[in-house]
Amino acid sequence: MSSAYVLINCDVGSEEHVLSELKSIKKIKETYGVFGAYDIVARIEAPSDTMIKNVVTSKIRAISRVRSTLTLWGMAPC
């Protein structure tokens, strides 16, 4: 099982809309509204890295009002 965190920037005032859309994506296990350089953090779990890439590129980036994403993924925790 692969997992990744996605840091998301969205249009000002659209955080609730984007959070709602993220919650409908099956591979997304957690979402958090945050303050600072990014607006939302989402955690993805999927059977493969390729599937994570597909969720980010075809699902998250396709949500209206998402401006940019940064995906953090690596090895399992120590």
Looking at residue 76, its pLDDT comes to: 59
d(CA 71, CA 57): 10
Binning pLDDT at 50, 70 and 90, where does residue 77 land? low
For residue range 29-73, list pLDDT tens digits in order.
999 999 999 999 999 999 999 999 999 999 999 999 999 999 998
Arithmetic mean of pLDDT, 17-33: 97
Distance CA 36, CA 9 (A): 10
Which is it for the CA torsion 74, 22, 31, 69, positive or negative? positive
This prediction has a pTM of: 0.90
Alpha-carbon dihedral sign for residues 3, 9, 10, 15: positive
Residue ranges covered by each domain of the chain: 2-36+48-66
Taking only the tens place, the pLDDT of each residue in 5-15 is 999 999 999 99
pLDDT of 74: 73
